[in-house]
A and B are shown apart, each in its own frame.
Chain A
Amino acid sequence: DAGITQSPRHKVTETGTPVTLRCHQTENHRYMYWYRQDPGHGLRLIHYSYGVKDTDKGEVSDGYSVSRSKTEDFLLTLESATSSQTSVYFCAISGVQGYGYTFGSGTRLTVV
């Protein structure tokens, strides 16, 4: 059984609409992360969380917000989707900051 699941796996949305991606873990890990992966840029950190209601920005946080109301769930919201946010989004978890990340299977988001 996967300890981390992302939903949805695929989504197509229109420019200007809000979108929420969900990451759910069953490992009770403290740290959760949202990355985006684009050709030529590798994995870039959007936001991360170090506990319930404790979040911080990553290197590409503009246009994104996050919430973590429970240990197991970390939500990523695109407040008003733009075409530049078309990407594959990955959630990751770890029990120790910076050590041994477990990734979800990703969400492919297309903004048209």
Chain B
Amino acid sequence: TQLLEQSPQFLSIQEGENLTVYCNSSSVFSSLQWYRQEPGEGPVLLVTVVTGGEVKKLKRLTFQFGDARKDSSLHITAAQPGDTGLYLCAGAKAAGNKLTFGGGTRVLVKP
């Protein structure tokens, strides 16, 4: 059992649809990060959230950190084929701790 559970594991949608990816834990994290990984490349940092209840927007992507700092979500509005990839959440339980990664959600956006 992973410390950070992501759901769903796989998501296939049509271009223009919305999607939400979840990252859940029974533990409290001081910060959560979201990464996107494309085939053949390393993960790339999208955002870091550090305050319970925090919402951050990055163009069509909206990230939320749960009030209790145990969970996070990533919502994509009007998904495009360029959003296809593996989305990973990662958390640090305390400042200065190493990151723990979730298992990832593979997103496929069909044109």
Among A42, A90, A97, contact of B42 (Cβ-Cβ < 8 Å): A90
Q: Which residue of B lies closest to A102 (CB)?
A: B45
Q: How many residues of B contact A (CB 8 A)?
A: 23
Which residue of A is nearest B101, CB measured? A43
Pick from A33, A97, A98, A106: contact of B40, CB below 8 A.
Answer: A106
Q: Are A45 and B43 in contact (CB under 8 A)?
A: no
Main secondary structure of the interface of B (DSSP, over half): loop
When chains A and B are docked, how far (Å) is the Cα of A35 from the Cα of B98? 12
Select A45's contact among B33, B95, B98, beta carbons within 8 Å. B98
Question: Hey, which chain A residues are within 8 Å of B40, CB to CB?
Answer: 105-106
Q: Is B88 an interface residue (CB 8 A)?
A: yes
Chain A, interface residues (CB within 8 Å), range? 20 to 34
Binding site for A on B (CB under 8 A): 2, 31, 33, 35, 40-45, 48, 88, 90, 92, 95-99, 101-104
Binding site for B on A (CB under 8 A): 33, 35, 40-45, 48, 58, 90, 92, 96-106
